[in-house]
């Protein structure tokens, strides 16, 4: 569905501010910030953010397709986005992701690094608020959608916080972790709530769970066969502006993100080619790629490889290039 109204931008500051803020709740942010945290800040912080992010986003996406609350009508609102317009509105998963990532980052770092707690709290609040306001500005959600998403995420954070050290320990040490990390997300993806029409929520959920699955297997593998993944023993430089030069920080990031993007492109091409051969459709057939038997395996395999590459292959490459 396209935008139903034409519009004229009268305030470019707000327009670009909130368009940018909206991107902070999308794949472009996840695929850069979460790996950046793992490569340049702290493994344990990254692990906790990924655990919280994947659980919160799955619950949010499923809730949308169970509640089936419509997005705001256009007109009267003007919708500045096209892709997500086919999804339902309540809760706002942008609001959920922004709240989960910003506050889990704050909670995970406040006891490990010395910085003003007030500053961290304000930064987390400002980040989540900007993303929430962007959903109103772009016409994609109602105030209730945004408040509901932020509150659900806050409740889930409160419930997960007492257990996240235990969850993290089990995911690092349990011999069943790789099997659990792959099988459970796959079962959830294949049993996603069915809709009367196609919505990108199932594909987005598969992307998130696939990336988290691959990363979790990578965490386990690193802990079993490499240096301990614990914060006090892992090879990580801490906050980059304090204990490492910007040259190394940027080098780690650009080398890593290049490898991650190449992995995504390569695996997507290979998996789609195999599935196209299996189910007899050309790679450019969008309708075929939306079918359950195609969408779930192609996105899950692609993004699980992305998560695994970011946590295992890229750190090995950093070590080989002398970037640690």
- DSSP sequence for 272-293: HHHHHHHHT--TT-HHHHTSHH
Element (H, E) at 270: helix 246-279
- Options 43, 141, 169, 318, the catalytic residue: 141
> 63 Cβ partners below 8 Å, 6+ apart?
90, 91, 152
> 229 Cβ partners below 8 Å, 6+ apart?
43, 44, 47, 172, 219, 222, 223
141: annotated active-site residue: yes
Q: Could you give the CA distance from residue 313 to residue 246 in angstroms, rounded to a whole number?
A: 22
Cα dist. 257→59, 188, 222, 298, 321 in Å? 28, 28, 19, 21, 15
- Give the position of tokens 């192609």: 298
- Options 43, 94, 169, 318, the catalytic residue: 94
Sort residue 226 into left (φ over 0), alpha (ψ -120 to 50) or beta.
beta
169: annotated active-site residue: no
Q: How far is residue 7 CA from its own chain's centroid?
A: 31
Could you list the active site residues? 94, 141
């Amino acid at each position: 569905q396209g935008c139903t109204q034409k519009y004229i931008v009268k305030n470019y500051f707000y327009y670009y501010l909130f368009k940018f803020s909206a991107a902070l709740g999308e794949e472009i942010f996840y695929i850069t910030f979460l790996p950046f945290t793992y490569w340049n800040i702290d493994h344990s912080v990254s692990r906790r953010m990924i655990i919280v992010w994947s659980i919160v986003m799955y619950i949010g996406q499923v809730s949308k397709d169970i509640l089936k609350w419509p997005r705001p009508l256009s007109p009267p609102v003007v919708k500045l986005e096209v892709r997500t317009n086919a999804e339902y509105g309540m809760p706002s998963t942008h609001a959920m992701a922004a709240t989960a990532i910003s506050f889990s980052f704050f909670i995970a770092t406040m006891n490990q690094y010395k910085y003003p707690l007030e500053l961290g709290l304000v930064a987390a609040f400002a980040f989540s608020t900007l993303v929430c306001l962007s959903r109103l500005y772009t016409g994609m959600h109602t105030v209730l959608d945004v408040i509901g998403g932020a509150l659900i995420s806050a409740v889930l954070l409160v419930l997960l916080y007492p257990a996240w050290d235990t969850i993290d320990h089990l995911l690092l040490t349990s011999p069943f972790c790789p099997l659990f990390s792959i099988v459970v997300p796959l079962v959830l993806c294949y049993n996603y709530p069915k809709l009367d029409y196609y919505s990108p929520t199932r594909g987005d959920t598969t992307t998130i769970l696939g990336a988290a699955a691959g990363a979790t297997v990578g965490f386990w593998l690193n802990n079993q066969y490499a240096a301990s993944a614990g914060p006090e023993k892992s090879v990580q430089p801490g906050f980059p502006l304090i204990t490492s030069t910007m040259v190394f920080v940027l080098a780690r990031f650009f080398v890593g993100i290049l490898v991650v993007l190449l992995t995504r492109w390569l695996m997507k091409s290979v998996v789609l080619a195999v599935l196209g051969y299996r189910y007899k459709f050309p790679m450019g057939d969008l309708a075929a790629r939306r079918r359950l038997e195609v969408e779930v395996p192609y996105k899950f395999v692609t993004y699980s490889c992305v998560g695994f590459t970011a946590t295992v292959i890229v750190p090995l490459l950093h070590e080989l290039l002398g970037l640690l």
